[in-house]
Chain A
Amino acid sequence: MPYDIVVCVKQVPDTANITSDAMTPEGTVNRSALPAIFNPEDLHALETALEIKDRFGGTVTCVTMGLPKAANVLRECLYRGADRVILLTDRRAAASDTLATSYILSQVVKTVGKFDIVLCGRQAIDGDTAQVGPQIAEKLAIPQITYLEQVVDADDKTITVRRNTGSGWEVVKCQLPCLITVLDTANEPRPLSACKTLKYRFARVPGELAPDAEEEKAKLEQKGLLLEQWSLDDVNADLNRCGLAGSPTKVFKVLSIVLTKEGFKNVEPTEEGINGLIHELVEDKTL
C-alpha cells in the first residue's frame, strides 16, 4: 500500500566544523561564521521516507521552517527524490523554542493534508534537544516511535519498526498515522540524483527573489520551479503559540567552555598504580 509521508527537515550551522570565530563575544552562535548544512539525522529521515516510497509507493513531502535561505535544504530534498517541498517562513516565528517550533510544524503537517507517516531526524546538531519530533506527535495527537533503525514492515493500518533502546533494540508495531524519529545508523543517505539536481537547481521560494521580480516568479511558476512558501497565516497558526510569545524557554546564559590541560600526572604501569587511578576517577565521579 502506498504511504503519504511528511519529512521535517532543518538547516543548521555545521557544528562539526567549528572555527575560532564560531561563537560571538556575547556567547551566542555566530551563524554567519559557520556553513549552513542539512541537519545530518534529517538526511536519514529523508532516506527512510524514500526507501518506504521505493518499497511500497506513495509520496514524500519535505517541510522546513526558517529563513528563505533554508530553501537550500529543500532543494537538496528534491535532488534526492522528494516529490514536494514547503518552506514555512514568517518573521513572527522568529525566536521560537522547541514548543513553539513543534506547534508551528504540526500546523504545517496538518495543512499539507492527508499523511500516513511523519518522519523527523532524532535531533538537530545545533540545539541537540531531540524534543521537536516527539512534541509534533503530541500536537498532532498521533502515536510516536523514537530512535528508528529499520523499517521492518508496513500494512494498510500499521507500521512495524526496529528501534534502538540504547542498550539493545526492540521491534514495535504502531498504528498509522504516526510520527517516527530516525537515527543516523538507520541507513546511508542516497547520493544526489544528477538528473534531479539539474532539473531543480534553479527552483526558488518567493522569498529568495527580489520583491519586485514578478516576471521571474511567473517564469519559475510556469516551469514548476516556484517552491511553496507558507506563512503562519497559511497554516492557521495561533500567534500566541508562535515565536517569542509561544516560547516559555528562556536562555539565561550561554557559556563558551574551552577545555584546557591542567598539568600531568604519571601513573605507574603496575596493578597498584592503575588501582589508584581508578580509585581517583571514582572519587571525583568521572567513572
Chain B
Amino acid sequence: MGNYFLDNEDIQFALDTLNIKELAELQEMFAENGDADYAPETVDDAVTGYAEILKIVGSIAADTIAPAAEQVDNEGHTLNDDGTVTYNPLTQKNLDKLAQGNLLGFTLPRRYGGLNCPNLIYTMATEIVSRADCSFMNMFGLQGIAETINAFASQEIKDMSLSRFCTGEVTGAMVLTEPDAGSDLQAVRLKAEQTEDGKWVLNGVKRFITNGCGEILLVLARSEPEITDGRGLSLFYVESDETVKVRHLEEKLGIHGSPTCELTFTNTPALLIGERQRGLITYVMALMNGARVGIAAQSLGVAEAAFRLARTYAAAREQFGAPIEVLPPVAEMLVDMKVKIEASRALTYHTCTICDKQNNGERLSQTPGIPKEIVSEQRKAARNAKRINGMLTPMSKYYGSEMAIEVSNMGLQVLGGSGYIKDYAAERYVRDARITNIYEGTSQLQVVAVIKGITSGTFESYIVDTFESKTYDDADLETLKASLIESRKKTVEAINFVKEQGTGYIDLSARKLVDCAIDILIGHLFLAQAEKCDRKKKIAKYFIERQAPRIAANVAVLLNRNSQAIDDYKTIVGDVPAAE
C-alpha cells in the first residue's frame, strides 16, 4: 500500500509553501458548482481538499498504475482489423480506477462532475501518475481536451461531452499533426467542408495522434481553403464513429502504453468549436500551452522514478568493499539528479501558479454576470500573467524535458550494466523520457518561444521586479542572491550584444541565452524555498554556486560572436551522405 504523494516530501513542501490559498480563492470565485454536494464551503476547505485528492492519486499511482507499467511496456495495445484499437487490459484497468476515484475531471467545473482543481494541483497529480508510468501519463494528461472544450466550445458541446469525460465514459485526443505538418502546424491540410445544410464534414489524414483511438477528438482542419496559413484553420469536435479509422499504430522507442495513431477521416461529421479561423491561433495555442506544462510534469515524474531507482541501487550495490554511493563520482551523479529534479519542479510549479492566474483571469473576465470591477481587475491580471506565461511555459517544458532525459540517463549509468538490461526499469525510463523534448513542440521550438520574452525585456523586468527586490534575513542567502544579480547583469549584457548582431545570430544564440535565464530564475526560486527550509538552503547553495560559472561560460561564448554553425555549415558538415 504505497502512496506516491505521501512519500514525496518535495511535492508536499510545494503544497505547504506556495500560495495555494490565493489560487484556491480565484478558482472558487464564481465556480460553476451546480448541485454538487462536495463543493467546499470555504477557501480553506478547498485547500485541504487538494491534499485529500492528491492522496487518492498517490495511492492509485503506487498500487495500480506502477505495478502494471512493465507489462504494458512489453505488450502495448492492439490494432483491430476494423480500424479500432483495444487498450491493453491493464491500461483499461488504470482508467477504470481513476474513474472510480473521480479523477478524470480534475480541473472541470463541479456541475459536470469535475473537481475544479487549480492547474497546479492537476500538474502535481500528473507528475505523480507519470512517476508510476510515464506512458500512462499521456492518458491521464488528456484532460486538457475537456478543458479546451470547457474554455471555448458552445454550451451544447459542453453539455454533451464534459460529464462523460468525468465518468470515464470517453477519452479524448487532440488531433493536430499531419505527415507534412509537424512543428509547422500552419501547413495542416485536412479538409473541413460545409454541406448544403451547413453541417461540417472532415476528410483527410492525421499522424502521430496520441490516443487517436479515443472517443472524442478535437481536430484541427482547414476550413478556409483560400487561406494557406494558420488563419485558414478551425478546430472541430468529433464524436468518433465508423468514418474515423486507425490505419496504423506507431512502433516507438518508448511510451508503449500510449497508443500513437495514424487516422483517416472520411466524410466525418464534425461540430465547429468557437469561431472559424481561430482554431490554431487561439484554441490550439491555449491547448498546447496547457499540454506543455503537462509534459514538464511528465518529465518530473519519470525523472523522479529514475532517481529513486538509482538511489536505492547505489545504497545496496557494493563494490570495492562498500556501497557505490560512497564513491564521489556516483555521489555527484545522485546529487545532480536530485537537484535538477527539484529545480525543474520549482520552475514548473511556479509556472503553474501563473497559469492559474491567467486561466482564472480569462474565465472571470468572460463569464456573464460578474461585477464590472472584478472583470476589469481580472482582465488585467490575465493579460499580465499571459505575458509572463508566454515565457515560463516553454521554459518549464524545455528545462523539464531536457532534465528528464539527462536524469534518466544518469540513473541508468548508476546501475551500470544492470541498467542496460531489462531486469530493471532504468532502461524503460530512458526510453520513455526521450520523447519529452520532442512532442508538444521540440526543445528547439520551446527556445524560439522563450527567446521572445528574453529579447523583449520581459525576462529582465520579471527577475528584477519579482525577485531581486526581495531581501533575506540570512546573510548566506543574501550572498547567493548577489551572485544571481551578477549573473543577471552578465546575461543582459549578452542579450544586448546578441540583439545588435541581427536575427541570424539571435536564433543561433537563443538556446544559450535561455539556459542563462532559466538558471537565474531557478536560483531565485530556490532562494525563496531556502527561506522556509534548512535543507533547501543546501540545495540553493549547490545550484547557485554552479550556475555562476555556467552563465559566465555561456556569456563568453556569445560575446565571442562565433557564428560558424551558419557561416561554415557546409564546410564542416560536408556533403549529404550518399544513399547506402
Q: Which of B52, B64, B103 contacts A201 (CB 8 A)?
A: B52
Given contacts A199-B37, A201-B52, contact A194 B102 (CB under 8 A): yes
Within 8 A of A (CB), among B52-75: 52-53, 56, 59-60, 64
Q: Is the CB of B103 within 8 A of A194?
A: yes
- State A69–B38 Cα separation when bound (angstroms): 23
Q: Which of B59, B64, B97, B102 contacts A195 (CB 8 A)?
A: B102
Within 8 A of B (CB), among A146-200: 190-199
Please name all residues of chain B whose beta carbon is closer than 8 Å to the beta carbon of A190 when the two chains form the complex. 97, 100
For the complex formed, measure the closest distance between the CB of B522 and the CB atoms of chain A, giving whole angstroms: 32
Within 8 A of B (CB), among A182-235: 190-199, 201
Please name all residues of chain A whose beta carbon is closer than 8 Å to the beta carbon of B102 when the two chains form the complex. 193-196
What residue of chain A has the Cβ atom nearest to residue B52's Cβ? A197
Given contacts A191-B59, A191-B60, contact A196 B97 (CB under 8 A): no
- State A215–B49 Cα separation when bound (angstroms): 24
Q: Is the CB of A193 within 8 A of B100?
A: yes
Tell me whether B40 is interfacial, beta carbon within 8 Å: yes
Tell me whether B101 is interfacial, beta carbon within 8 Å: yes
Report the count of interface residues on B (CB-CB < 8 A): 18
Please name all residues of chain B whose beta carbon is closer than 8 Å to the beta carbon of A201 when the two chains form the complex. 49, 52
- Residues of A in contact with B, size category: 10 to 19
Q: Is the CB of B115 within 8 A of A194?
A: yes
Please name all residues of chain A whose beta carbon is closer than 8 Å to the beta carbon of B36 when the two chains form the complex. 195
- State A196–B103 Cα separation when bound (angstroms): 12
For the complex formed, measure the closest distance between the CB of A98 and the CB atoms of chain B, giving whole angstroms: 27
What residue of chain B has the Cβ atom nearest to residue A188's Cβ? B64
Q: Is the CB of A191 within 8 A of B40?
A: no
Please name all residues of chain B whose beta carbon is closer than 8 Å to the beta carbon of A199 when the two chains form the complex. 37-38
- Which residue, of B49, B56, B101, has the highest number of chain A Cβ atoms within 10 A? B101
Please name all residues of chain B whose beta carbon is closer than 8 Å to the beta carbon of A191 when the two chains form the complex. 56, 59-60, 64, 97, 100-101
What residue of chain A has the Cβ atom nearest to residue B40's Cβ? A198
What residue of chain B has the Cβ atom nearest to residue A17's Cβ? B1
Q: Is the CB of B56 within 8 A of A196?
A: no
Q: Is the CB of B38 within 8 A of A192?
A: no
- State A196–B38 Cα separation when bound (angstroms): 7
Within 8 A of A (CB), among B103-126: 103, 113, 115
- State A108–B262 Cα separation when bound (angstroms): 60
- State A191–B102 Cα separation when bound (angstroms): 9
For the complex formed, measure the closest distance between the CB of B438 and the CB atoms of chain A, giving whole angstroms: 33
- State A201–B100 Cα separation when bound (angstroms): 18
What residue of chain B has the Cβ atom nearest to residue A201's Cβ? B52
- Which residue, of A192, A199, A201, has the highest number of chain B Cβ atoms within 10 A? A192
- What's the dominant secondary structure at chain A's contact region? helix
Contact mask for chain B residues 112-153; partner A; CB cutoff 8 A; 1 contact, 0 none: 010100000000000000000000000000000000000000
- State A268–B36 Cα separation when bound (angstroms): 71
Please name all residues of chain A whose beta carbon is closer than 8 Å to the beta carbon of B40 when the two chains form the complex. 198
What residue of chain B has the Cβ atom nearest to residue A224's Cβ? B37
For the complex formed, measure the closest distance between the CB of A242 and the CB atoms of chain B, giving whole angstroms: 34
- State A193–B97 Cα separation when bound (angstroms): 10
Please name all residues of chain A whose beta carbon is closer than 8 Å to the beta carbon of B97 when the two chains form the complex. 190-191
Given contacts A190-B97, A190-B100, contact A195 B56 (CB under 8 A): no
Within 8 A of B (CB), among A51-97: none
Q: Is the CB of A192 within 8 A of B37?
A: no
Q: Is the CB of A194 within 8 A of B37?
A: no
For the complex formed, measure the closest distance between the CB of B107 and the CB atoms of chain A, giving whole angstroms: 13
- Which residue, of B59, B97, B100, B103, has the highest number of chain A Cβ atoms within 10 A? B100
- State A190–B53 Cα separation when bound (angstroms): 15
- State A29–B113 Cα separation when bound (angstroms): 44
Please name all residues of chain A whose beta carbon is closer than 8 Å to the beta carbon of B38 when the two chains form the complex. 194-196, 198-199
For the complex formed, measure the closest distance between the CB of A166 and the CB atoms of chain B, giving whole angstroms: 27
For the complex formed, measure the closest distance between the CB of B240 and the CB atoms of chain A, giving whole angstroms: 27
- State A198–B59 Cα separation when bound (angstroms): 16
- State A204–B541 Cα separation when bound (angstroms): 47
- State A199–B53 Cα separation when bound (angstroms): 12
- State A134–B317 Cα separation when bound (angstroms): 50
Q: Is the CB of A197 within 8 A of B56?
A: yes
Contact mask for chain A residues 254-286; partner B; CB cutoff 8 A; 1 contact, 0 none: 000000000000000000000000000000000
- State A184–B64 Cα separation when bound (angstroms): 16
Please name all residues of chain B whose beta carbon is closer than 8 Å to the beta carbon of A196 when the two chains form the complex. 38, 102
Please name all residues of chain B whose beta carbon is closer than 8 Å to the beta carbon of A195 when the two chains form the complex. 36, 38, 102, 113, 115
For the complex formed, measure the closest distance between the CB of A17 and the CB atoms of chain B, giving whole angstroms: 10
- State A191–B40 Cα separation when bound (angstroms): 21
Please name all residues of chain A whose beta carbon is closer than 8 Å to the beta carbon of B49 when the two chains form the complex. 198, 201
For the complex formed, measure the closest distance between the CB of B136 and the CB atoms of chain A, giving whole angstroms: 15
What residue of chain A has the Cβ atom nearest to residue B113's Cβ? A195
- State A65–B72 Cα separation when bound (angstroms): 43
Contact mask for chain B residues 8-43; partner A; CB cutoff 8 A; 1 contact, 0 none: 000000000000000000000000000011101000
Please name all residues of chain A whose beta carbon is closer than 8 Å to the beta carbon of B101 when the two chains form the complex. 191-194
- State A82–B310 Cα separation when bound (angstroms): 42
- Which residue, of A190, A196, A197, A201, has the highest number of chain B Cβ atoms within 10 A? A197
- Which residue, of A192, A193, A194, A197, has the highest number of chain B Cβ atoms within 10 A? A194
For the complex formed, measure the closest distance between the CB of A28 and the CB atoms of chain B, giving whole angstroms: 26
- State A198–B37 Cα separation when bound (angstroms): 9
Please name all residues of chain B whose beta carbon is closer than 8 Å to the beta carbon of A198 when the two chains form the complex. 38, 40, 49, 52-53, 115
- State A196–B56 Cα separation when bound (angstroms): 12
- State A198–B52 Cα separation when bound (angstroms): 7
- State A201–B52 Cα separation when bound (angstroms): 9
Within 8 A of A (CB), among B84-108: 97, 100-103
What residue of chain B has the Cβ atom nearest to residue A202's Cβ? B45
- State A198–B36 Cα separation when bound (angstroms): 11
- State A192–B38 Cα separation when bound (angstroms): 14
Please name all residues of chain A whose beta carbon is closer than 8 Å to the beta carbon of B113 when the two chains form the complex. 195
For the complex formed, measure the closest distance between the CB of A197 and the CB atoms of chain B, giving whole angstroms: 5
Within 8 A of A (CB), among B456-482: none
- State A199–B36 Cα separation when bound (angstroms): 9
For the complex formed, measure the closest distance between the CB of B346 and the CB atoms of chain A, giving whole angstroms: 27
Contact mask for chain A residues 129-157; partner B; CB cutoff 8 A; 1 contact, 0 none: 00000000000000000000000000000
For the complex formed, measure the closest distance between the CB of B56 and the CB atoms of chain A, giving whole angstroms: 5
Please name all residues of chain A whose beta carbon is closer than 8 Å to the beta carbon of B100 when the two chains form the complex. 190-191, 193
- State A137–B60 Cα separation when bound (angstroms): 35
- State A192–B97 Cα separation when bound (angstroms): 9
- State A190–B102 Cα separation when bound (angstroms): 11
- Which residue, of B38, B40, B60, B64, has the highest number of chain A Cβ atoms within 10 A? B38
Q: Is the CB of A194 within 8 A of B53?
A: yes
What residue of chain B has the Cβ atom nearest to residue A50's Cβ? B100
Please name all residues of chain A whose beta carbon is closer than 8 Å to the beta carbon of B56 when the two chains form the complex. 191-192, 194, 197
Within 8 A of A (CB), among B268-303: none
- State A267–B575 Cα separation when bound (angstroms): 70
For the complex formed, measure the closest distance between the CB of A282 and the CB atoms of chain B, giving whole angstroms: 38
- State A199–B40 Cα separation when bound (angstroms): 8
For the complex formed, measure the closest distance between the CB of B368 and the CB atoms of chain A, giving whole angstroms: 27
- State A209–B101 Cα separation when bound (angstroms): 29
Can you list 11 A-B contacts with CB-CB less than 8 angstroms, sorted by A residue number? A190-B100, A191-B100, A192-B101, A194-B38, A194-B52, A194-B53, A195-B36, A195-B113, A197-B56, A198-B38, A198-B52
Which 9 residue pairs are nearest across A and B when measured between Cβ atoms? A198-B38, A199-B38, A194-B102, A191-B101, A195-B38, A195-B102, A190-B100, A194-B53, A198-B49
User: A193-B100, A197-B52 known; 6 other A-B pairs, CB under 8 Å?
Assistant: A191-B56, A191-B59, A191-B60, A191-B100, A195-B102, A198-B40
